[in-house]
């Protein structure tokens, strides 16, 4: 019995190709080979490659941002919630995020999605900082996120010990800054 292939399956395969081979490899033929299905199956779900790429960006946004935010929600204590989201963020597919950033440098649709994800991630961090009573929570969230993106770009997360040290140091520095008077 043949399993049906869902749009989610196609998007998961596409994210893997994007991460491992780059945007140029995201062709209908390459996707069909990765999923083990025909072009007819692809076109059953997507009108053309352009609509697929839009769905791919939506899937990336859901999997690497919204799902993480939902996964951190069970923590009622804001400090523990911050620690939990930091742990989840370290587990992100950083190579994939870098690939989407590279795509966003060349494509307006990807740039809009990247900007939306960046804003959402920063807003979420700012919410935590606001709940913790930090001064200038949005500014501190931007600083934390800039450090995260920079660390992602230079491969800090490839060393779990280095990433943990950086995260702890940054958390302490931001807590200190967030509790300072004017």
Q: Which long-range contacts (CB under 8 A, 24 or more apart) does 147-156 make?
A: 148/89, 149/118, 152/92, 152/94, 152/97, 152/98, 153/98, 153/101, 155/94
Q: What is the pLDDT of residues 33-70, one digit of tens each?
A: 999 999 999 999 999 999 999 999 999 999 999 988 88
3-state secondary structure of 107: coil
Q: What is the pLDDT of residues 64-92, one digit of tens each?
A: 999 888 887 777 788 888 888 888 888 88
* C-beta separation of 103 from 110 below 8 A: yes
The full 3-state SS of 4-71, as one line of letters, equals CCCHHHHHHHHHHHHHHHCHHHCCHHHHHHHHCCCHHHHHHHCCCHHHHHHHHHHHHHHHHHHHHHHH
Residue 2 has pLDDT above 80, yes or no: no
Residue 30 has pLDDT above 90, yes or no: yes
Q: What is the pLDDT of residues 145-171, one digit of tens each?
A: 999 999 999 999 889 899 889 988 998
Segments making up each domain of the chain, as ranges:
7-178
CATH superfamily name and code, 7-178: Tetracycline Repressor, domain 2 (1.10.357.10)
| pLDDT for the residue 1 | 38
- What CA–CA distance (Å, rounded) separates 45 from 31? 13
């Amino acid at each position: 019995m043949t399993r049906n292939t869902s749009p989610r399956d196609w998007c998961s395969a596409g994210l893997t190709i994007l991460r491992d081979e780059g945007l140029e490899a995201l062709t209908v033929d390459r996707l069909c080979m990765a999923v083990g299905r025909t072009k007819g199956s692809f076109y059953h779900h997507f009108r053309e490659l352009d609509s697929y790429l839009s769905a791919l960006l939506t899937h990336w946004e859901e999997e690497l941002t919204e799902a993480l935010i939902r996964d951190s929600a069970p923590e009622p204590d804001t400090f523990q919630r911050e620690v939990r989201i930091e742990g989840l963020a370290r587990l992100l597919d950083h190579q994939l995020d870098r690939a989407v950033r590279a795509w966003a440098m060349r494509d307006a649709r990807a740039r809009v999605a990247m900007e939306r994800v960046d804003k959402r991630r920063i807003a979420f961090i700012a919410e935590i900082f606001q709940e913790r009573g930090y001064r200038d929570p949005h500014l501190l969230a931007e600083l934390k996120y800039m450090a995260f993106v920079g660390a992602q770009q230079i491969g800090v997360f490839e060393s779990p010990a280095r990433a943990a040290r950086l995260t702890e140091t940054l958390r302490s520095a931001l807590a200190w800054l967030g509790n300072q008077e004017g």
